[in-house]
Amino acid sequence: MKIIERSLKSSDGLTLFATEWAPDGKAPTACVALVHGLGEHIGRYHHVAQAFTDAGFAMMGIDLRGHGKSEGPRGHSPSYEQLTKDVSMLIESLRKDFPGLPVFVYGHSMGGNIALYYAIRVRPDVQGFIITSPGLATKNPVPAGKLFLGKVMANIAPSFAMDNGLDLSGLSRDQIVIEKYKNDPLVHGKISAKLAIDMLEAGKFELENASSIDLPLLLMVGSSDRLVDPEKVKLFAKTSKNNVTFKLYENYYHELHNEPEKAEVISTMIDWINNQIK
């Protein structure tokens, strides 16, 4: 596997860290644009990239603004529209490196929320979407006081940072994954008031407009996810069109690609992509 690290400049001038993974010694058959989750970074997907490149795919991701090695206040974005511009930049970078190949967008958790928003709002010219454990709604309702504070601060001090409240024990049934997450210096527990409110509103918008997605979509969630609401993900799948492939993994936690059965989950993604490019 070939690994190239680089910097990309966003439309509003931030430097975003990017990594590209490609098959070694053979031309890829498809490209995957990775959009990671809240508080984390693309380095946590190296094992997914290894499996994808072994299957003949190239993958590229950016540390989202305010995350990982990218610039910006921790856990903050000025708007969801700016995030869609960042995703578009990522896709264009992939296309420059691998012209003519089909492009898929892979979004996890908050990244799944961003990717679905991108699919509905932008209607990009891509081959399809892989969405795992999307943050359409939190598993437990946000406390009224915290929600009120978030709405107020989103207006008067958008970058005001709050604890993101993630239940780390619900990331994976593999305790090693949780310990690595806790000790990862590039992981943080922050979210800005603006991003928090935007993410909640985007989830509602996506549920209301699920039927408007007309691109192939692989949608997956664990039934025991304690970070996002699996019932909302099931509802999204139910109200989408017939080109949605939905998989509910019984008793799996939030990070499907980091569960003990991760090989099966990643293999499902690979098989789905191969079926789309036949």
Catalytically annotated residues: 109, 225, 254
Please give the structure tokens belonging to residue 270.
Answer: 């690979």
Looking at the DSSP bridge assignments, the partners of residue 106 are: 34, 130
Ramachandran class of 95: left when φ > 0, alpha when ψ lies in -120 to 50, beta otherwise: alpha
CB atoms within 10 A of CB 167: 13
Q: Where are the alpha helices (DSSP H) in 98-221?
A: 110-121, 144-156, 175-182, 193-208
Both tokens assigned to 237: 């799948």
- Token code pair at residue 203: 């989830």
Q: Which residues pair with 58 in a beta bridge?
A: 31
